[in-house]
Structure 1
C-alpha cells in the first residue's frame, strides 16, 4: 500500500478531536510525519488526563494548594 493511501485512511478513521482536526488541515506527506504528529498529540492527551485526575482527586478530598486549615 502506498504511504499516501495509508495516511488518508488513518486520518479518515480518526475521531473528531484536536489530532484529527490538525491532520485534516495539515496533511503529512510521509508515515514518519504522521507517526510523529500522532505521538505528540497522544503525549499531550495523557498529560491532560493526569492533570484532570489530580484536580478531581483534590476536589474530592477538599484539599488543594490554596486551602488552609480553619482556626
Structure 2
C-alpha cells in the first residue's frame, strides 16, 4: 500500500519546535492552534502523506493515520 494516498497526519505531543514546518513539501502544516488545542494545524487537503514531517520530528509527535 502506498503511504502517500490520503494519509493525513496525526499530531500528539507536539512541542512546537517547527522542524516539520520547514520539511513539509506541500506546506500542509501551520503553526497555529488546532481544534484540539495543540500548537500545530494539519491542512488535510494539502497533506499527501509523504511522511517527511514524521521522519524529522524530534519527539515523535507526528504519525501517519492508517499507515502500517
TM-score of the superposition, structure 2-length normalised? Answer: 0.31
Structure with greater helix share of residues = 1
Of Structure 1 and Structure 2, the greater strand share is in 2
